[in-house]
Structure formats: structure tokens, C-alpha cells
Structure 1
Amino acid sequence: MSDDMTTQVFKEEAYELLGELETSLLELEDVPDDMDIINRVFRALHTIKGSGSMFGFEAIAEFTHEVETVFDMVRNGELPISKPLLTLSLSARDHIYSMLESASGEGDSSVGNGILDGLRDVAAGALGEEEAEDDVSTAEAELDPAADAPEDDKSEDLPLRSLYQIIIKVSAGNDVEEESLDSLLQELERLGDIRSKNLHKEKETWWDIVFESDADSMSVEEIFFFTDIPVSVNVREVAREDFADLFGAVDDADDLDEMIKTGEACPVKKLGEILVERGDVPSETIDAVLADQKPLGELLAEKGVVSKEKINSALAEQNAAKEFKTASRKTRNKVDAASSIRVSAEKLDYLVDLVGELVIVQAQISQVVSSKADPSLTALSEELERLSDELRDSTLGIRMLPIGTTFSKFRRLVRDLSEDLGKEIDLHTNGAETELDKTVIERLGDPLVHLLRNSIDHGIEDPETRSAKGKSRRGSITLSAEHSGGDVMILIEDDGKGMSKEAIRSKAVEKGLISADQDLSDKEIFNLIFEPGFSTAKSVTNVSGRGVGMDVVKRAIDTLRGSIDINSKEGRGTVITIRLPLTLAIIDGLQVRVGDDYFVIPLSLVEECVELTNKDVEEANGQQFVNLRGEIVPYIRIREWFEVEGDSPPIEQIVITGLDGSRIGVVVDTVIGEHQTVIKSLGRVYRDVEGISGATIKGDGTLALILDIPKLFRTVLAEVKAAG
């Protein structure tokens, strides 16, 4: 692996660890005494430090080591979790991130020194100056297993530490000297004590290490994550009562503990192994002699020591134990096989593009085969279509990520902004497991930041104002996600002061966006805030109020083929609803035709198809409504909307679509059928065409336009309202 590739692997892993570090630090703010979270923080810092040192990022390793030392004091109960400590730790996380991003890998040293000075001050304030200096300066020595412990440390009263067997095997075709492991073993000794280390060089080279530590197995495994040495490593925890199995029988538990403490324990080789290694006896002879030996059960039965029935009963118990062990091993292997691998986003995007092209070719093949009327070709075409569908679904499934990966980033945003504005705000999240296409998630980040900043700045009141209104001093923002049909619905709710319809309307009239006597619904009034430059803020802050942002949010959501709506009650809070498609790559669509032009309607929005005759049009007195089983449903004619040439057929088709509980019809000449739609972006010239969200390539190579149903919905409903 090249230096650039190994560095990139380290950086990707470090970014993930920094994300975990930030999440854990924010969780500590709610549960400061949770040792599991404290250990997660320490483990993340320790891994970044160790791997940073291994890959030559010495500045990162040194800085992280200082922060890790402070959290070792927290782990040992010498330093309590406090808000200043968490704030500085979050700043340290940001500084490590900036060091990773910088070309030199060092970042701004003055910033780093300031953070470390702050951490020392926090330790000094909590422990007293002299004690803090001693603790900070000696914490590293305390981590060193070679450091001398006082004779009366009462270590026998502490719980026994975990024991691990670590097998390090050299990869085939490589030759690794024992000295090559020194750096790894030094890191290992920071976590505990190496009780024995044996090098084996029979058929292959491998090390058998017995390690004792109070760290968990994951922390031990992390030591070996970033090694360039061509070895495979297996770490397994060994129960103390099973420890003798590794080193031969030990009659007395005290003797075993004494062997462990003194490091005298070592694997005991079998007699046959020793004779073969010395060359005294060939291994084939040993195998032959062992094969001639009678099983123990037979020998005991022959001597009359025990009956055959009891022997058979014992053998049955032994076989059951073997089967259980085999089943456990298979289960472990399945878990190991299910481990994930890291794939770059570029490779994944390229895979999706290839699948999209395959879907188009498959559609073309199906169209050609349908004209040949050859049963064998038809069967092959149907099999290709099935495989294409499965490959498409599998590939898109790989791109799906839980939206919680985005939600978790906003805890820090809410914490920092509320602190800057002197507010007390809790962020609650629901539906973090809801999956969405990774491209949608990536583009959704900035719009959500804008909306959350506005909720924090304009929505949630300061603690004194909330108390005066009889509310809790702490405001609440809830970020939730859920599946709704073929879409994902994201809600941002706050319990703040809400929006004043009168203030919004007055500002819109002042800016000339609406007339003073124009009749608007509540939804239309609230949607005015998405107009460019619209703001009701009385003062400009560092957070918001300049009249920019909400129109950007609207455009970003439109680009994602989504919709955004606002509902607010003055004095009670605001709810912002965002609806987004699951994916931007491939969708199932309903292909329709108008004249010689073809269109695709997203199948997830289609409810049913009905006929529209000239008689139906006459009965509606020229108005574009259809009576659908007693329900009046408005419709829009695609022929008129896009000015398609030619006359309508005597019997047209209405595709009934549903969105947000409302229904409209889309009138077309013919409904062709379902179509697997690979979405292609429109060029800049056509990007702002109303009613079109993209295009796709049909089986015959021609284009079909994808209808933007949400925009058509808004147009039709506005016309219905204007008509009274």
C-alpha cells in the first residue's frame, strides 16, 4: 500500500473517530458519570494518538496525548466532568480535525496550546494547583505498566483484569523479524501487561502473546488497526478458569496467579512435538503410534473400571459439547464475515451510474425482443430484467444511510448556538434509523442548518421570557424523520414563540410581494418567508436576520425534488415539514404519452387511472374537475400545459395522483405502463421549466420527461382557489 493510500486510510478512520468523540462528549453533558461513555472518549483519543504516531502525524499524536492524559484522570475518578472541560474537549476535537485538514498536519499551534492551557486550568481548579500539576505530569507514568506501584496498594482488593490470547501470524510469503513488532508491543503495554510472548517458527512464523489488561477487547484490537507489517492478528479474551488450557494443567489457582504475576507461565509443548522438532522421530511415526492406541473409554471398560453404558453416556455428553462448540464457532465466523468494508463514495457513485446504464440497455433489449416474438429470447429477456431489478435494488440499498448520521451532527450546533445566544435548548431526535439516499443526505445538511439556526435565534425565547410566559426555561427542538409512501418526511418542531401571520403579511405588503387586500390561506402566508430577502427580524445578529437563507433552503429542497411547508401557532411554536424522495438515481415510474411526446410520473404518487370522455367534460361545464365516486378531483391537461400539438383523442386517461392528503388528476392521451426510470438531470436551459424535474432515456433511445407532480399540485390548487 502506498504512503498516500495509508495516509488516506488513517484520515478516514480518524474522521470517524472524531465524529464518535464529538457524539460521546455531547452525551457526557447529559450523563457525566457514565463510565461507558468516558471510556469511549478515552478509547477514541487513544486510537487517534496511536495511529497518528504510527503514520508520522507526530503533532496530532502529541496534542491528542495531552488531552488523553486529562481524560485518564477522569477515568480514574480524579477529575469530574464539567461544562468547561467538555467545551475545551470539543474545541480539542475541532483542533485535531483542523490538523488533519492542514497540509502540514500541524494546524495552528497557538490554538492548540491555548486549549491545553485551558485543560490544565480546569484540572487545577478541580484538584488544587499543586495536586493538579502532579496529576497531569504523572498521569503518563501511571499509564506505563513498568511504573513501580506501592507495596500497600491493596491491588488484591481490585477486580481481576481481563486476560487475552493474541495470535500474530506472518502473512504468507513474508519474513518479519521479532524486532519489527516492538512499536506495536510498546503501544500494547500502555494498556496492560504482556505476561508471555512466544515466537514459533515451525511451518509458519507466528507469535503467541498472553496479555492482561483492564481494557476491553476492542481497545486491544485497535492497537493493530494501522500496522504496515504484513501480519494477521486475532485477539480473544480468555476466562481465568480456562487460562490453564493455554499453558498446561495447573493444580492450584494460587499457583496460576503466581505464574501470571511473575510471567513464568508459558505454553507447554506435547512430548511428540518436542521429539519431532529435535528430529529424533519422524512426524509420520508419531501419527502411526497414536493411531494404534486404544481410546481411553475402551481401556477403562477392558479393565472393568467402569461399565460400557457409562462410557457411552460420557461420550454422548462429550459429543454434545463438541457440537455446541462447533455451532458457536460457526456463529462467530458468520459475525466475522458480516463485518463491513470501506468503499470510497466515488466508486459507489460510479457503480450506480453503471447500473443506471444497464437498466437503460435492458429496457432497449426488452423492446427489441418484444418485436421478435421469439419464446427463447423472451425468456432470456425476462431473466435479464429480473436480474437487473435485483441489482438495481441492491445497489441503491448500498447507498441508503440512516438519516441519524446527519441528525447527530446538529447536537453540537444547538449546544454552541444556544450558549452564544444565552438560551437553554434541548435537541430531541426521532426516527434516526430512517434510511435515505446518501446523496440526498449530503445535500440536506445545509438546509437543515439554516432551519435550525432560525429556530434557535427567532423561535426559542430566552429563559427569562419563557419563565414569564409560564413555559419551561429550557426550550425544545425536535428533529424527526419517517417514511411516507415513497418519500421521507422530516419535521423540525420547536416550542418557541411561533410566527405572527399579521407581521408576515404586513412585511410582504411592504415589500410588494402581495396586495393589501389579497386573500391568502395560513399556509400561503407562512410560505412567504421563502421569498428572496424576506425577513421579519427586528435586528441583525451573527446567526440570522439579514433576509437570506430561507429562499436558499427552498431552492435546495426544490433541487432535491422535494417540498417544504410551514405551520405555526403564535406563542406555541412552529413545525417545518420537508418531504424528500428516497433516491435521486433510479425510480419506478408510470410512462404516459401525449401526442408524440412521452412523460413519466413517479409511481409512488400514482393512486389509480380512470377514463375521461367528452361526455365527462361536457357535464363539468368546461371546468377541469372529475367526479370520482362522489369526490370532486381537479385535473390538469398535460397537452395544454406543455402546448403539445395535435387534437385530444375521444377518450383520454386521467392519472390520479396523491400528495399530502390531496388528489389531482393528470390528463394524458395514453397510459403505457410501468417504467424503470433512470433519472438524468436537465441542462441549465431547461432546469427552471415548471412541471419538469428531470428526464430519462427510453428503451428505443428517445427521451421522456419526468413530471414534477408537487409543482403541478401547487399550480392546480392555486387555480382552484382563484376560481373560488
Structure 2
Amino acid sequence: MFEDHIATYREEAAELLAELETSLLDLETRPDDRELIDRVFRAMHTIKGSGAMFGFDEIAAFTHEVETVFDLVRNGRMVVTKELLDLTLRSRDHISMLLATATEGMPVERGTGDQLIDGLRRLLPPSVLHRGAEAVPLAAQADEVERAPLQTWRIRFQPHREMLLCGSNPLALINELRELGTCLVTAQFDAVPPLDSFVGEHCYLSWDIVLSTVRGEEAIRDVFLFVEDDCQLNIELIDEPALEDRQPEYKRLGEILIERGDLAPEALDEVLRHQKPLGELLVDGGMVSPDKVAAALDEQQHVRKTRQEQANTESAASIRVPAEKLDQLVNLVGEMVTVQARLSQVSNALGDATYIAIAEEVERLTNELRDTALNIRMLPIGSTFSKFKRLVRDLSRELGKEIEMETFGADTELDKTVIEKLNDPLVHIIRNSIDHGIEAPAERMAAGKPTTGTIRLGAEHAGDSVLITIHDDGKGIDPAAVRAKAVRLGLLSANAELGDQEIFACIFTPGFSTADQITSVSGRGVGMDVVKRGIEGLRGTIAVDSELGRGTTITLKIPLTLAIIESLLVQVGDSHFVLPLAPIEECVELSRADVEASHGRNLANVRGHLTPYIRLRDQFAINGTRPEIEQIVIVAVQGVRIGFVVDFVVGEHQTVIKPLGILYQDVRGISGATILGDGSVALILSPADLVRMAETAEQRKP
């Protein structure tokens, strides 16, 4: 059980570290943003507190020192500077390293942490430092900060019974409260059951605490920040000596007992039963009518009930589910889609109205279940975008460039599997934009540009796909240079008449690079071919648009999900094939007369435009007689219209993607398979691979 909680902490710590990095990078552009400062502090405070709970002492001790500095920032005693953010980002990386080290059971290297703490200490303002500060922990130095007036707080801390099962230690929280000031703690044992019903893993105690401190309510709540969902916590200011108009007498005994929870209001009412309720006294005194008293009581009860219902709803608004369970759910839904297709086919063959009605109802429910299951796995792509801000920041400094990164469409949702596989292609593209695209400040100034370059990364929905664009305002791609290099490599003939789009496609060839020098960042010709393979592995497309001197835009078109896709089912002979629906533009007829008019060339005249096509019958060596009128499915492949000739277009199809066996994983032109309603298998085609295969075959012809 404890190991499960440790695994949960590691997962949550990784999420908090990602949030911490994003907040720090945002803070670099908005150093006075109070909300960002609070987010940084809360993330570090939670990492520290939970780390101490689960035995990650090195993480807790180091994070406590960094947290203390941001406590000074939060209290207005320090300002956010570039040096502070640099050290804090490096501290975040060190915490991540400590987490990985603890996970793998390796020894801790403390030198880096000590250097970071020394660097943070040197940033402390003179009002905080004192003699011998070099040997005093940051947390102790922070105690020298000017305090607010002394205040006394009443704290009622009642843990949920299952708190201990989550690995939290209430005594550690109380000891942390003692560090804030003078603390009086009284344990309450009323809820402790008899031994025969006592559960050793449950927490039955609660605590009444009176704390006098100068740190304020925020510091008190920070102590309970990472257990606030596992307890009932009441914090109330009961005394403030600095106030000149405070009353010499304190509250009555009955009020104190009720507020502390030692006496029920009903018991006090019983003792004071000789007194009438306030409403009755007001009515008897002729001060208000009975109806108005009743209306006020109704309002009181309604508001209490509404607040309680809202609290219950908010407490159950979300739950954490392991990704493996979601994957299993989607797989089961995929199997159900296949069975539903079989049911529809059988019911239509039988022609029974009752069976058909049942099949239609099952189809409706299956579609709703499919959409719901897929939506559960959808995540905002902003979680991936935020990682690249750090990449741009660090790499631009390494290259001596000034680059800012802008993002849009961070709320655009994609399947979590797609997001995970997008990381490497986006890293390669952004690194190339920084190294090849954005010029050095002096070069930009000479070109009349701002010295600071800009990379814009964004996403937007486009039907059942997402368009991801990466734009830089750098020097752009010179098509003449690309063409010359492609000719030298034998990729293009010197006489070929090509447009810019076709020339730019050469940069995705393995080993192709226009860089004059090989650096640690790029120039070896490895990267853009990896990008292309990665995007096509997601059944997506990539397009490049560049203007010399103005910049480059790379557009990725990615399907929303990899589990179930909208597709077009086609037939060639007795075989069925599936084409992804997203890149399909239209379907047209191809008659025998059209074939004869092309004089042996695979070209079709579609509304005045010649469109090349590939015969799937020839591609897969399928025997049989072609129908008099065939169908051409026209697909956009990297901005070029290509046709695929089939015997029949069956129609749209909900395709549940099944991976191919190990013997068929490397078959080109096929990206997977699906099971049709009659139990037969249809292959899912990869249009981009089929086009490349056809081009290769054409070049090999004598």
C-alpha cells in the first residue's frame, strides 16, 4: 500500500515540476504577477511537504531552501530577477534529478544542490543577510524579515479517517505550525472507538490549536496546503493585540465552547430554553411580522442547503485514473464497435424490423460510448507547448540569439497517445527554427528586423484533425540553395521544373542539410527525416511554406485520435481496403473512355486539371476483371492531389485500428488493419507511402 502512495507521489511530483517550469518561464515575462509567484510557491511547498511525508528527505530539504526564497518574494522582500529565475530553473532540474535518483536507488550528489543554495543566498537583500550568513540556512535567514503584527488564531484540524492511508502525518503538520510562533495544542479523543471496532490505519484524533504568530493566515494555510482535501480545517482570527479598539473582555464561555466544538448549540439552547427564539421575541415585540420571520428562516435554510450541495459536487468533480485503464476502456469500445457492425449487418440481412430497430439502438449507444471514451483520453496540447518554452530559452542563450516564443490554441485537445508521439518531431522542428531560421541579433538589425526573433507555436481544430503550426520570423529557406543541394545529392535532375513546395520537400530526405557547419544543435542532416517519419506514423501530413527574408511556417495536420478513425471503405476485386477520411477531397468516376484518352498514362482529367492516379489493383497484384466504370478517390498528399483507383467505393466506415503482426510491421503502404462486420479483415492504407512507392517504381523504369 505504501509503495502505491510513493508511486503516486512520484507521478504528482513530475506534474508539479512541469507546472513549476511553466510558471517560472511565464514569470520571466511578467515578474510582477502575484498569481504566478503564488503558483511557484505552492508547487514547491507541495513538493517539499509531500516529499517529507513519503521519505524523500533530500528533496524536502533542498526544496525547503528554494521555497524560502520565494516566500521572501511573495512577502515583497525580494524582486524577481533574471538571475533568480535562472537559479530557480536549475533548482527545478536538480529536484527532478533527485526524484530520478531516489527512484533508481542511486546515491545523491549534493555538490550541485549546495552550489545552487549558495547562489540563491547571494541574491538575498542586505536587510535579510547578517554576519555569518554564509553558514546560516536560507530558512533561518528568512526569519529576519520584518513581521506583521502579532495575531492569535484558532485552528480546528480534523483529519479524515483515511488520511494515514495516504501517507500524511498529522503530527508533522502540527510541528510545522509550532515553527510559526507560540502554539497551544489540545488533542480531542471523542471520536476514538472501542478496541473491538478500532482500525489501526485510521486517524480518530482531531486537534484544537491556538497559535500566536506574525506570519499571517497565508503561512498557516501553506502548512496544510497538500492535505487540504484530506481534512476539515477551520482557521479563525480570534485576537490581534495591535488593534487599539479591541475589547478588554473576551467572548462568553458558551461562544468559546461552541466555536471550539466542545459544546453543541442544541445543548446550549437546552440550558437557555427559558429564553424564546429571536424570531418569537421580535414578533412578540411587534418589531416584525411572522411572515417576514418565516421568509428569513426559509432563506437561511435554502442558502445552507445550496452551499452544501455545491460543496459536495465540487469535491467529486474529478478523479485520477491510471492511463492504462483508459487505454483498456478504449480497446474494449473498439471491440464493441466491431461487434455492433456485425449486428447491423446480420439484422439487415434478416430483414426483421425488430432486429433492425435493436441494431440501430445499439449503434446509437455504441457511438455515444465511443465518443465519450475517446473524449476522456483527450488532453489540452498546451501541456506539450509549455515544455518548449524552456527549450527555446536555453538553446537561444547557447547560440547567442534573442528569441521569444509565443503560443496560441493551448486548449486544443488531442488524444494523449498522439500528444506523446508529437514531442520528438516538434523538438526537431523548433531546434531547426532556432539554429537555421532565426538570425543573430546583429544580422537581424542589419536586415531591419527587431533584434529579438519570434517563434509562434499554435494549434487549432480542422474537422477530425488538428493543425499545428510552427512559424519563425527568420531568414526563411532559400529554394535555390535547397535545389542546388538536392541536385548534388542526386535527388533532383538539373532540368526538373518544380515549384517551391516540391523543392522544400527535399529537406525531409535522410542526410539532407543546407547548414555550412556542423554544430551541437544541427547540421548533420538528421532531424527533418525523423520528423516526417514521426508525423506519417501518426497518419498525419507535413507542409512547408517559406519566404526568403521573412520566415518559415511548418504545418502539421494530425488526426485527433489513433484508436478509432473515420475512413472510407473501398473494394478492389474481393478485397477491401480502408483509406483515412481526413485527407480525402472527393471521389470521381473513371470510365474506359477516360483511360483510353490518357494514352497509357495514369492521368485523369478532373474538371480541367490533370490528376495522376495509382491503380490499387496493380499495386497489390489483384487479379480479375475491372468494372466498366471505376472510381478514383482523390487524396491530398503533401499539398499534391493524387488519385487511387478502386472498383467500388463502399462508403464511410468507423475503423477500429488493429496493429499488424510482427511479420508485417514493415510492409510499406499499409499502416494497420481493421475487422469488418462480417469478420473479414481490411487493410488500412497509407497514402503517402503508396505515393512514394509509385514514384520509386517510376524512376526505376528504363
Residue of structure 1 in register with 2:80 after alignment: 81
Distance in 2 (alpha carbons) for counterparts of 1:718 and 1:197: 82
3-state SS in 1 of match to 2:108? coil
1:489 aligns with 2:489: no
Does the 8 Å CA contact 2:544/2:554 hold for their aligned counterparts?
yes
3-state SS in 2 of match to 1:119? helix
1:342 aligns with 2:320: yes
Distance in 2 (alpha carbons) for counterparts of 1:388 and 1:154: 61
Distance in 2 (alpha carbons) for counterparts of 1:462 and 1:609: 49
Larger deviation, residues 363-372 vs 454-463: 363-372
Paired letter, 1:318: L
Larger deviation, residues 686-695 vs 461-470: 686-695
3-state SS in 1 of match to 2:260? coil
CA deviation map 1:475-501 (0-9, x unaligned): 111111111222111111111111222
CA deviation map 1:522-550 (0-9, x unaligned): 11211111111111111111111122112
1:67 aligns with 2:66: yes
The Cα of 1:663 is off from its aligned counterpart by: 5.2
CA deviation map 1:375-395 (0-9, x unaligned): 333333333222222222111
Paired letter, 1:570: L
Residue of structure 1 in register with 2:311 after alignment: 332
Does the 8 Å CA contact 2:468/2:557 hold for their aligned counterparts?
yes
Distance in 1 (alpha carbons) for counterparts of 2:469 and 2:504: 16
The Cα of 1:439 is off from its aligned counterpart by: 0.9
From the superposition, tell whether residues 620 and 549 of structure 1 become closer, same or farther in structure 2 (CA, over 3 Å). closer
For residues 677-696 of structure 1, the aligned pairs below 5 Å read 677-683=655-661, 686-687=664-665, 689-696=667-674
Q: Note the residue ranges of structure 2 that are not aligned, 5 or more in a row.
A: 194-203, 240-244
Residue of structure 2 in register with 1:545 after alignment: 523
From the superposition, tell whether residues 193 and 468 of structure 1 become closer, same or farther in structure 2 (CA, over 3 Å). farther
1:155 aligns with 2:149: yes
For residues 96-245 of structure 1, the aligned pairs below 5 Å read 96-102=95-101, 103-104=104-105, 107-123=108-124, 127=126, 131=130, 134=133, 137=136, 140-141=139-140, 155=149, 166-170=157-161, 181-189=170-178, 199=188, 201=190, 205=204, 207=206, 209=208, 213-215=216-218, 219=222, 221-224=224-227, 232-235=230-233
Larger deviation, residues 565-574 vs 328-337: 328-337
The Cα of 1:627 is off from its aligned counterpart by: 6.0
3-state SS in 2 of match to 1:461? coil
Distance in 1 (alpha carbons) for counterparts of 2:137 and 2:247: 33
Residue of structure 1 in register with 2:372 after alignment: 394
Distance in 1 (alpha carbons) for counterparts of 2:165 and 2:138: 38
For residues 283-432 of structure 1, the aligned pairs below 5 Å read 297=279, 303=284, 305-306=285-286, 310-338=289-317, 340-432=318-410
The Cα of 1:104 is off from its aligned counterpart by: 2.8
Does the 8 Å CA contact 2:208/2:260 hold for their aligned counterparts?
no
Distance in 2 (alpha carbons) for counterparts of 1:256 and 1:447: 70
Paired letter, 1:351: L
3-state SS in 2 of match to 1:201? coil
Distance in 2 (alpha carbons) for counterparts of 1:175 and 1:44: 23
3-state SS in 1 of match to 2:292? helix
TM-score normalised according to structure 2 size: 0.85
Distance in 2 (alpha carbons) for counterparts of 1:259 and 1:46: 38
The Cα of 1:562 is off from its aligned counterpart by: 1.2
Paired letter, 1:224: V
From the superposition, tell whether residues 255 and 477 of structure 1 become closer, same or farther in structure 2 (CA, over 3 Å). farther
Residue of structure 1 in register with 2:92 after alignment: 93
3-state SS in 1 of match to 2:289? helix
- How big is the alpha-carbon RMSD for the aligned residues of Structure 1 and Structure 2? 4.0
Paired letter, 2:60: A
Residue of structure 2 in register with 1:599 after alignment: 577
Q: Note the residue ranges of structure 1 that are not aligned, 5 or more in a row.
A: 227-231, 245-251, 276-285
CA deviation map 1:328-382 (0-9, x unaligned): 33223222221x2222222222222222222223323333333333333333333
Distance in 2 (alpha carbons) for counterparts of 1:607 and 1:513: 29
Paired letter, 2:313: K
Does the 8 Å CA contact 1:184/1:223 hold for their aligned counterparts?
no
Distance in 2 (alpha carbons) for counterparts of 1:692 and 1:57: 48
The Cα of 1:271 is off from its aligned counterpart by: 7.7
Residue of structure 2 in register with 1:279 after alignment: none
For residues 426-465 of structure 1, the aligned pairs below 5 Å read 426-465=404-443
Larger deviation, residues 187-196 vs 632-641: 187-196
Paired letter, 1:434: T
3-state SS in 2 of match to 1:589? strand
From the superposition, tell whether residues 58 and 660 of structure 1 become closer, same or farther in structure 2 (CA, over 3 Å). same
The Cα of 1:405 is off from its aligned counterpart by: 0.7
For residues 526-675 of structure 1, the aligned pairs below 5 Å read 526-606=504-584, 609-617=587-595, 635-657=613-635, 665-675=643-653
Give the length in aligned residue pairs: 674
3-state SS in 1 of match to 2:449? coil
3-state SS in 1 of match to 2:321? coil
Distance in 2 (alpha carbons) for counterparts of 1:346 and 1:537: 43
Does the 8 Å CA contact 1:588/1:602 hold for their aligned counterparts?
yes
3-state SS in 1 of match to 2:136? helix
Distance in 2 (alpha carbons) for counterparts of 1:439 and 1:328: 39
The Cα of 1:59 is off from its aligned counterpart by: 1.2
Distance in 1 (alpha carbons) for counterparts of 2:219 and 2:157: 13
From the superposition, tell whether residues 476 and 136 of structure 1 become closer, same or farther in structure 2 (CA, over 3 Å). farther
TM-score normalised according to structure 1 size: 0.82
Paired letter, 2:328: Y
Residue of structure 1 in register with 2:55 after alignment: 56
Larger deviation, residues 569-578 vs 63-72: 63-72
Larger deviation, residues 600-609 vs 691-700: 600-609
